[in-house]
Chains A and B, each alone.
Chain A
């Protein structure tokens, strides 16, 4: 044990400039010790109690709160600080209804072309739609995962909605000329906005289906999506029905490979 520790400290020799000189200690950040098993702090608790909200009250979200959460978004990290996004805030019921209608019609079209579950095994229609589905799967396997497909089918059948009748929708436009992988920056800025909203007691839901709007030149024009931009995601926003954000829930654990003391452990 002792020998292992000595070896380790030799490896982890601090370079000189990693520590401030003693007389400057007052300028240095204090190290806050957090005990193993300590209660969740406010930030952690906020993350653990955020849920996607798909049922909203009619009451509109005050305008200043929308601005406030977008301000929090503005300070999100992004690759090379390139901030490859613009926002479209939609609170016009007719516009929201139109977007919903368009996305639903696209889901119907897609379902019509590839939903082989609508036809019995062995039928010609099943074979035709299943071949189409296979082609789509190969072209874009992530979008064609069974979960979004099931949701597409539910939307087509009127059992699920795209924008969940939220009173406010924030569409995030992604600049395809950004640095590295702009979609990651979209995820981060959206998380900033969503967590700010959650802290005001508002409910949010990411809407990946909003991407369907890119297929329509009319909708691109109406929302001001210029050539180099695309609708990347949308965030539904409103006051939640019920109290969906009180309890922590269960989720799957993830595999963690841990390298330390010359050992590798696989933890869960």
Chain B
């Protein structure tokens, strides 16, 4: 505990280099502005914007904090939104053993692990 207090490197929360939250990919062509993703996003990073009747989803100005859960993808009927990689922290909270994003694989082709 003392060692942690003195030496551990805890990433600074508002430093985007230390806490790297990757923005979700949004396909504006596909998005029909149904709003469902903004309602289910646990990080509250999504909002609708644009002309009335032609609203589309976008990241909020401080579009920070996406936990890469793909709740937005799961509920989107248009497949217009998707998280493609896991968030990454530096120092104490750096992850190990997490690779690239993949849908559930029914058949496992032995691929060597590669850190994302």
Docked CA distance A151–B5 (Å):
23
Closest to A48 in B: B104
- Check if B103 is an interface residue, CB within 8 A of chain A: yes
Identify which of A134, A139, A244, A250 contacts B102 (C-beta below 8 A): A250
Q: A97-105, A140-148, A167-175, A180-188: which one contacts chain B?
A: A140-148
Chain A positions within 8 Å of B92 at CB level? 137, 141
Interface string of B1-29 (1 = CB under 8 A from A): 11011001011011000010000000000
Task: Say yes or no: A251 contacts B102, CB within 8 Å.
Answer: yes
- Check if B69 is an interface residue, CB within 8 A of chain A: yes
Interface string of A204-235 (1 = CB under 8 A from B): 00000000000000000000000000000000
Interface residue count for B (Cβ, 8 Å)? 54
- Check if A125 is an interface residue, CB within 8 A of chain B: no
Task: Say yes or no: A145 contacts B93, CB within 8 Å.
Answer: yes
Docked CA distance A53–B71 (Å):
9
Docked CA distance A153–B113 (Å):
35
Min distance, Cβ A155 to any Cβ of chain B, angstroms: 10
Q: A62-70, A71-79, A253-261: which one contacts chain B?
A: A253-261
- Check if A60 is an interface residue, CB within 8 A of chain B: no
- Check if A249 is an interface residue, CB within 8 A of chain B: yes
Closest to B97 in A: A255
Interface string of B102-116 (1 = CB under 8 A from A): 111011101111101
Closest to A258 in B: B110
Min distance, Cβ A236 to any Cβ of chain B, angstroms: 12
Given A137-B4, A146-B93, A267-B110: A244 touches B71 (CB 8 Å cut-off): yes
Given A250-B82, A256-B113, A268-B112: A244 touches B74 (CB 8 Å cut-off): yes
Task: Say yes or no: B98 contacts A254, CB within 8 Å.
Answer: yes
Min distance, Cβ B72 to any Cβ of chain A, angstroms: 9
- Check if B49 is an interface residue, CB within 8 A of chain A: no
Given A52-B71, A138-B1: A254 touches B99 (CB 8 Å cut-off): yes
Task: Say yes or no: A246 contacts B4, CB within 8 Å.
Answer: no
Docked CA distance A48–B70 (Å):
12
Chain A positions within 8 Å of B83 at CB level? 250
Interface string of A237-250 (1 = CB under 8 A from B): 00001111111111
Min distance, Cβ A66 to any Cβ of chain B, angstroms: 23
Chain B positions within 8 Å of A36 at CB level? 107-108
Identify which of B75, B93, B99 contacts A244 (C-beta below 8 A): B75
Task: Say yes or no: B104 contacts A252, CB within 8 Å.
Answer: no
Docked CA distance A242–B75 (Å):
7
Q: A21-29, A37-45, A83-91, A193-201: which one contacts chain B?
A: A37-45
Identify which of B65, B74, B106, B108 contacts A246 (C-beta below 8 A): B74
Task: Say yes or no: B74 contacts A245, CB within 8 Å.
Answer: yes
Further 6 A-B residue pairs, CB within 8 A, beyond A54-B40, A138-B4, A266-B112 = A55-B40, A133-B10, A245-B74, A255-B98, A267-B112, A268-B113
